[in-house]
Amino acid sequence: MHPSLIACLAACWLMLVTPARADPALVVGVLPYQGARTLIAAHRDLADHLRGALKRPVKIVTARNARVFGQRLLAGDYDLALAPAHLARLAQRDAGWHLLAMHRPDTPVYLMAESGTPGDPQPRAGITIATPDRAMLVTLAAQRWLDTRFALNTGDYTLIETGSYSATLQAVIDGQADFAVSALAAMGQVRPGHLDRVRIAHELGSVPLLVYIARPGWPAAGRSRLQAALLKFPVSAPLRVVAAGKNSLDAMDVYLAATRQLLTENEGLADAR
């Protein structure tokens, strides 16, 4: 048999007996605005959609809290992240991440008070404010509003981190906090019966919802394919997914200094998966 034919047959045989190397899983990090199991289950549709569009495995992960999520984001531990706008902007500015898409419309942010509170309670020095997490955008937006409207800085009030939106309202109901920071988009996470025991004391404005960002190093063609897949992901009305450009999050720059400071706090780096 001719040597070149033997070599060709040998190469074909190796292709048959050597298993194809599968693409590594696309690791999607999601801001921990709910418990890990609930969050991962809630984003199963996103994983299925990306798996079908990109023809590769997809793994949804989260972190213990927003601070650790931000640290992991800047460390490049995710391929794609569904991040709050201030952390997405920080990752873009400081680590070269790419903005791909974002959810619209923006969501209003509120200070909630106990429903039996008489009159119109005004923020003042000495108050206690419950928040799910100090590193969340709603908290930073509330702090900026307090500084702008009432000249209250972080030393004038006490923040209580509760771990969830439902727990922030419970803190107000139980008298442990004067106000709770909440967002309209988070009301679906609140325990039944809580909403009729609190009321909106102040509307603070609106903040963007979550943003899809891709880690540095993705080739332009790969990013375009990923962005196209995200823009086709079906979400429940009135939400929609729209393209994000380089300057889409410029308004978040006012929060970057505070965000950098929060992420330097030692919270450990163990992911909840």
CATH number listed for the domain at residues 107-207 = 3.40.190.10
The answer on pLDDT for 270 being more than 50 is no
Predicted TM-score (pTM) above 0.75: yes
125-180 tens-digit pLDDT: 999 999 999 999 999 999 999 999 999 999 999 999 998 888 999 999 999 999 99
Given its phi and psi angles, is residue 55 left (phi above 0), alpha (psi -120 to 50 degrees) or beta?
left
The two three-digit tokens of residue 214, written as one number: 């891709």
Quick one: average pLDDT of 253-271?
Answer: 79
Query: Shortest CA distance to 181 belongs to which of 82, 31, 33, 39?
Result: 33
Select 26-105+208-272's CATH number: 3.30.70.260, 3.90.79.10, 3.40.190.10, 3.80.10.10. 3.40.190.10
Q: Could you give the residue range(s) of every CATH 3.40.190.10 domain in the chain?
A: 26-105+208-272, 107-207
Over pLDDT 70: what percentage of the chain?
Answer: 89
Provide the pLDDT for residue 104.
94
pLDDT digits (tens, 9 = 90+) for 40-83: 888 899 999 999 999 999 999 999 999 999 999 999 999 999 99
Residue reference for tokens 């969050």: 39
pLDDT digits (tens, 9 = 90+) for 5-46: 444 434 444 344 434 456 789 999 999 987 778 888 888 999
> How would you classify residue 119: left for phi > 0, otherwise alpha for psi between -120 and 50, otherwise beta?
left
d(Cα 45, Cα 49) in Å, to the nearest integer? 6
